[in-house]
Structure 1
Amino acid sequence: MIRKAMIACTAVLLFASGCATAQDAPAPQITPPPGPPPFQSAALGEGPWDYETAQASIHAEVLVRGLERPWGMVFLPEGGMLVTERVGRLRHIDAAGNLDPDPITGLPAMYTVGIAGLKGIALHPRFASNRLVYMAYSKIDPNDPSVSTLAVMRGRWEAGSHELTQVEDIFVANTWYGAMPLPERCCGQGPAFGSYGGRILFDADGYLFVSSGDRNWGERVQDPANQYGKIFRLNDDGSVPPGNPWVGREGHEPRTWSTGHRNPLGLTINPFTGELWESEFGPRGGDEVNRILRGGNYGWMSVTQGQHYNNEPAAGVRDVAGIIDPVLVFGPPSFNPGNLAFYAGEAFPDWNRDLLLASFTQGVLRYETDAMGSPVGEPEVLLRELGQRWRDVQVGPDGALYLLTDQVDGALVRVTPRG
């Protein structure tokens, strides 16, 4: 647990390119440790901040301000990074830590109502030579601007350019939804534009994983033919890898890798095991962290540990045949997870292999893990005092932690060893 905070003064230094990357026992029911007052989102102070944690003295500083609802980030091989803003903009931060005031152009029009908009970002494994950038976004139905779905685009971006070129969609989900009148739905589910998912990443074999939410239409998730509440595995051009679990099965979506998800907002690869992990928004409580297995079914919406929005209790919470239980589950109350990462770097050697989980309400949780990569024990809570909605957490090439705040006046925060 964070025990004390002190103000310090340090010049802002940004990352240099490098090679470090961010990323069984029965699933424990874990609620963040009691004690802190109820969470209140707050404006991010001037900083910097120094903290004593259980295993390290850390220094947190704001690298960049003026990002509007930042959602995802990637590190560039030449140094610096690209950041997506949910409002539909792609931003470049150079290796010196300067935010280009002009967004990168060339992105398609997108639906940006509520939680819709520009979401996850990933670089092609051969980005240094082909300069391909991939982004998930909320695509507008050309026949009805009130209807949208999840899509993944890719385009080319050259260093120093303000334009994304050769932009094309490589994946468009069949989760079109939003036209009035809306169908009657179960359990007090929320607005039509919700639960897109939208986190993307490439694994070491060059496959692209894409998370898709249930669009607040959970009744459809267990239908294997559609793309609600799924994680997909694609080739880099959007085509279907032959090794996907349901290739060739009638009535099954061949791009599906796993199913039974509500709103999967985090994806990471554990660099020590090669496994895919996911963080997921539940309903009222029931937020989850899952180890994603090929062909796995994670139960939504009949199997959940949260309450539905009409307070109807969920049935069959655990040990349901054919359903994989979560590794971690939170609440109620809701924990509201952002992205997650496994620490692999030299800056914090005592954190190696640890799981880091961003939260909108509870700071950043750090879990020690066992040899299988599963979290063990109670988490240490980091940065909760800053009162931020932490959207993304990544381990940078320099071993520092980089975090995005989900605020209108959002920021990029860097955490390094103190001293």
Structure 2
Amino acid sequence: MKRIRAALSLALALGMMAGGQTARAQDAPAGERAAAPPPGFRTVALGDGPWTVETEMATLHVERVGDTLDHPWSLAFLPDGGMLVTERPGRLRIIRDGQLDPQPIAGLPAIFAFGLAGLMDVALHPDFAENGLIYFSYSKPHPDAGDKPGVNADTALAVARAHWDGGHQLSNVEDIFVAAPWYGSEVPERCCGQGPAFGSYGGRIAFGPDGFLYVTSGDRNYGEMVQDQSNDFGKILRLTDDGKPAPGNPFAGQEGWQDTIWSTGHRNPLGLYFDPLTGKLWETEFGPRGGDELNLIEKGVNYGWMDVTQGHHYNGEAAKGIRAVDGMKDPAFAFGPPSINPGNIAVYHGAAFPGWEGDLLMPAMSKSLVRMEVNANGAVTAMETMLEGLEQRLRDVKIAPDGTVYVLTDETEGALLKITPAAE
């Protein structure tokens, strides 16, 4: 555990804690990726646990739940106390009573699973107990791509809806949203050393307190598209539960704007969470080298990418702006350089860790769980990093109704971790 006060330059200090790496091997442009990940990105086997972890506010008991998972991406709590878990290669799994069901749920559509593409988020409809509807996001191959689409296939972020009765089969599976345009088979010359088309899908989904579905859509490593508001790249979208533009969206009816857009100017948003007490919408996203962001999302706001970033483009090219640019909103907090590589985000409310009340929890691919204290304006005032000793890339965090914290490790031999207070 390490703690840094805001007055000590959080961005620089946290970047140094992340191990001094400037970018993930997977996040670098294809021509710059090494055949094997550099030492800072290699991980060790997790082991069986359990582990005791000392932090500033509590001593943690960390244990594994269920069997090994292959790059688990997201989990959703079920009304019966079980969980649904997605695996990026394209499997939807069930965990009940602490045991992983060995049989995946069948009925998923064709999924483009390559690199960081694949099956991503899962969420329950607000009325799931009555209607049995679940939603999941994934990278979708173009219908003309064939049974085994190659790396250069046209793909798109998609969100599907399905009925699930608790068994091993989905029914009534349908795409309710497919991002436009399809992209991948023809990659134009782009600036700044951007990465391959099979990355930066975004893919987080969350139902808001208004009952509408919010979807993060990444820039697909084609940042020039983001400030063009006629496409879905680099946007947060707000949809009805059947995928239509939600009423009250800020740009509905405006020429040249998608009527699904809620906010714009995002790179690769991989975290999205509504604080159930305040209604605030928090988002995390990857910058280029450095410039990873924590954002407090507001209706109709432009967050700058790719004209504005506090990171460094991969080829060293300077951004048009760094901060305080007219018409663009700065992040609540910018990490690095180097990159911290943020996963999902959650606001802690629960009885298990009273010292964390109202704090943000953010898993990071730089092998830590970050706890951030924020003030009433959403500014980060202090933070600590936790779980570094496990040496695992972390992808998702969820808080159970009893205040228990669950974290997914983004590993080939991945795991679901349960965090509770250590016994005194």
Give the whole-Å Cα distance in 2 for the aligned partners of 1:74 and 1:2. 29
Q: Deviations over 1:30-83 (max 9, x none)?
A: 234456866452221221111221111111011123211100110001111000
Which stretch has the larger CA shift, 261-270 or 47-56? 47-56
Could you say which structure has the higher helix fraction? 2
Aligned partner of 1:177 in structure 2 is 183
1:338 counterpart SS class: coil
Which stretch has the larger CA shift, 38-47 or 318-327? 38-47
Is 1:150 the counterpart of 2:157? The answer is yes
Aligned partner of 2:80 in structure 1 is 78
Aligned partner of 2:385 in structure 1 is 381
TM-score (structure 1 length as normaliser)? 0.91
**Structure 1 residues 62 and 241, CA, compared in 2 at 3 Å: closer, same or farther?**
same
Is 1:128 the counterpart of 2:135? The answer is no
Q: Which runs of 5+ in 1 are unaligned?
A: 4-24
Is 1:417 the counterpart of 2:410? The answer is no
Alignment of 1:318-329 (within 5 A): 318-329=323-334
Amino acid at match of 2:131: N
Aligned partner of 1:260 in structure 2 is 265
Amino acid at match of 2:48: E
Aligned partner of 2:343 in structure 1 is 338
2:224 counterpart SS class: helix
Q: Tell me if structure 2 keeps the 8 A contact 1:281–1:287.
A: yes
**Structure 1 residues 368 and 87, CA, compared in 2 at 3 Å: closer, same or farther?**
same
Q: Tell me if structure 1 keeps the 8 A contact 2:19–2:366.
A: no
Aligned partner of 1:295 in structure 2 is 300
CA shift for structure 1 position 301: 0.4
Q: Tell me if structure 1 keeps the 8 A contact 2:67–2:99.
A: no
1:350 counterpart SS class: helix
Please, which of 271, 274, 282 is the counterpart of residue 269 of structure 1?
Answer: 274
CA shift for structure 1 position 211: 0.3
Q: Tell me if structure 1 keeps the 8 A contact 2:202–2:216.
A: yes
2:155 counterpart SS class: strand
CA shift for structure 1 position 343: 0.1
Q: Deviations over 1:203-228 (max 9, x none)?
A: 11211000000011000100011100
What CA RMSD, in Å, does the superposition of the two structures yield over aligned residues?
A: 1.7
Give the whole-Å Cα distance in 1 for the aligned partners of 2:270 and 2:18. 25
Q: Deviations over 1:213-272 (max 9, x none)?
A: 001100010001110000000011111122000011111100000000000000011223
Aligned partner of 1:405 in structure 2 is 409
2:12 counterpart SS class: coil
Please, which of 189, 204, 212 is the counterpart of residue 209 of structure 2?
Answer: 204
Please, which of 217, 227, 237 is the counterpart of residue 232 of structure 1?
Answer: 237
Give the whole-Å Cα distance in 2 for the aligned partners of 1:88 and 1:37. 31
Amino acid at match of 2:78: L
Give the whole-Å Cα distance in 2 for the aligned partners of 1:394 and 1:408. 20
Is 1:47 the counterpart of 2:49? The answer is yes
Amino acid at match of 2:413: D
Give the whole-Å Cα distance in 2 for the aligned partners of 1:417 and 1:252. 48
Aligned partner of 1:9 in structure 2 is none
Please, which of 92, 95, 103 is the counterpart of residue 90 of structure 1?
Answer: 92
1:385 counterpart SS class: helix
1:339 counterpart SS class: coil
Q: Deviations over 1:305-338 (max 9, x none)?
A: 1111111122310100010001111111111000
- State the identity as a percent: 56
Q: How many residues get paired?
A: 393
Q: Tell me if structure 1 keeps the 8 A contact 2:333–2:379.
A: no
Q: Tell me if structure 1 keeps the 8 A contact 2:52–2:59.
A: yes
Amino acid at match of 2:409: T
Q: Deviations over 1:329-362 (max 9, x none)?
A: 1111111000110001110111110111110014
